[in-house]
Structure 1
Amino acid sequence: MPAAYERYLAPVVFRPFAEDLAARAAALRPRRVLELAAGTGVLTSELLAAAPSAEVTATDLNEAMVAFGSSRAPGAGWRQADAQRLPFPEGGFDLVVCQFGVMFFPDRVAAYVEARRVLAPGGRFLFNTWGPLGTHAFDAAVQAGLERAFPVDPPRFLPTVPHGYADPAVVAAELAAAGFAVEEEQELTLEGRAASASDVAIGFLTGTPVRAAVAERGDGPAVRATVIDETTARLGPGPVAAPMTAYVFRGAA
């Protein structure tokens, strides 16, 4: 999964927002940065380039992601860690940053409390989360393909997890519940570019939890062909470009 994620999805879906988030992080001039849910290191690499003087610690719950990410972004210190129980002392970081990871936390308020605990007074928590599924053309096309392939019981990972935390008012309320002052809340739409709609479909089918959900329902060439066909019909043949909307939040400890 990490290799497929990195090959098909990272450049298209995640790097445009990583560049944005890293620029926002660098503008804060942090000295010690903690990244949560770092995955394969897409944001990590951008952080290292945008803030070369900062000490970056990248973490992820998934050991395979940590192993892959540490080889891709060796300039950071990598560690397996649960965002809800961080293995770091209080006040050890100036900035905690997370790209499209907060949606995966089982107890987001608990994770936010932990982020606040490890921040020094006046530190910042900077992260983004996807908007509704319909505002992300790639994800919406893939989900349509899955619903065509499985009309009775389609995989629901995309609408319920990545796009299941798409109400900015809820996000802001949970940040406040954890003790953060919400300094910034911005809707941001960027464009993703892929070599083909087929690549996008393959990325989701092989590099995300959609893979397991499809396998449970009977994985096979017909399913892949259906999802690719629907994704191509919606996005077009050849190189494709599509809008993706997210929300960016910054909280002050």
Structure 2
Amino acid sequence: MPAVYERYLVPTVFRPFAEDLAARAAAIQPGRILELAAGTGILTSELLASAPSAEVTATDLNEAMVAFGSARVPGAVWRQADAQRLPFSDGCFDLVVCQFGVMFFPDRVGAFAEVHRVLAPSGRFLFNTWGPLATHAFGAALQAGLERAFPADPPRFLPAVPHGYADPAVVAADLAAAGFSVEEKRELTLEGRAASAADVAIGFLAGTPVRAAVEERGGGPAARATVIEEMTARLGQGLVTAPMTAFVFRGAV
């Protein structure tokens, strides 16, 4: 899954936002950065380029992602870590960053409190979350394809998890509950580009938890073909571009 995720989804869906988040991180001029849910390292590599004097520690809960990311971006220190139980001392980072990871935390307030604990007194917490699924044209097209392929019981991973924490007021309240003051809360729409709608479909179907949901429903080549057909009908033939909306938050200790 990490290799498929890296090849098909990272350039299209995640790199544009990683470039934005890394630029925001560099403006803070941190000396010690902790990244949560680093995945295959797209934000990690952008952080190293944008803030070359900073020490970057990248973490992920998934061992396969840590192995892949550490090979791809060896300039950071990589560790497997649960964001809800961070294996670091109090106050040892100037900045904690997380790209599209907080939606996966079972206890978000608890995880945010852990972030607060490991930040220095003047530290910042910088992260982004996806907006509603309807504001992400690639994801919305994929979900439409899944609903066509599995009309009785379509997989609900995308709307329930990646796009299930899409109310900025709720996110801001969770930050406050963990002890942060919210310095910035901004809506951001960027454009993603892919060689084809089929590439995006393959990325989601084989490189994310959507894969398991499709397999549980007995989906095979026919289901994949249906999803690709629907996505192509919505996004177009050949090179495709689509808007994607997220929210960017910066919390202060």
The aligned counterpart of 1:25 is 25
Q: How does 1:107-118 map to 2 (within 5 A)?
A: 107-118=107-118
Q: Deviations over 1:109-161 (max 9, x none)?
A: 00000000000001000000000000000000000000000000000000000
The aligned counterpart of 1:73 is 73
Which consecutive residues of structure 2, in runs of 5 or more, have no partner in the other structure? none
2:88 partner amino acid: F
SS in 2 for 1:4: helix
1:249 partner amino acid: F
Cα distance, 1:219 vs. partner?
A: 2.4
2:190 partner amino acid: L
Identity %: 83
- In the alignment, the residues of structure 2 paired with residue 182 and residue 242 of structure 1 have an alpha-carbon distance, to the nearest angstrom, of 30
The aligned counterpart of 1:137 is 137
The aligned counterpart of 1:217 is 217
The aligned counterpart of 2:249 is 249
Cα distance, 1:191 vs. partner?
A: 0.1
Q: Deviations over 1:159-205 (max 9, x none)?
A: 00000000000000000000000000000000000000000000000
- In the alignment, the residues of structure 1 paired with residue 98 and residue 72 of structure 2 have an alpha-carbon distance, to the nearest angstrom, of 18
The aligned counterpart of 1:208 is 208
Question: What TM-score do you get using the length of structure 1 for normalisation?
Answer: 1.00
SS in 2 for 1:58: strand
SS in 1 for 2:217: helix
2:166 partner amino acid: A
Size of the alignment, in residue pairs?
A: 253
- In the alignment, the residues of structure 2 paired with residue 213 and residue 247 of structure 1 have an alpha-carbon distance, to the nearest angstrom, of 27
Question: What TM-score do you get using the length of structure 2 for normalisation?
Answer: 1.00
The aligned counterpart of 2:157 is 157
Instruction: List, as ranges, runs of 4+ consecutive aligned residues in structure 1 with deviation greater than 2 Å.
Output: none
Q: Deviations over 1:188-243 (max 9, x none)?
A: 00000000000000000000000000000002110000000000000000000000
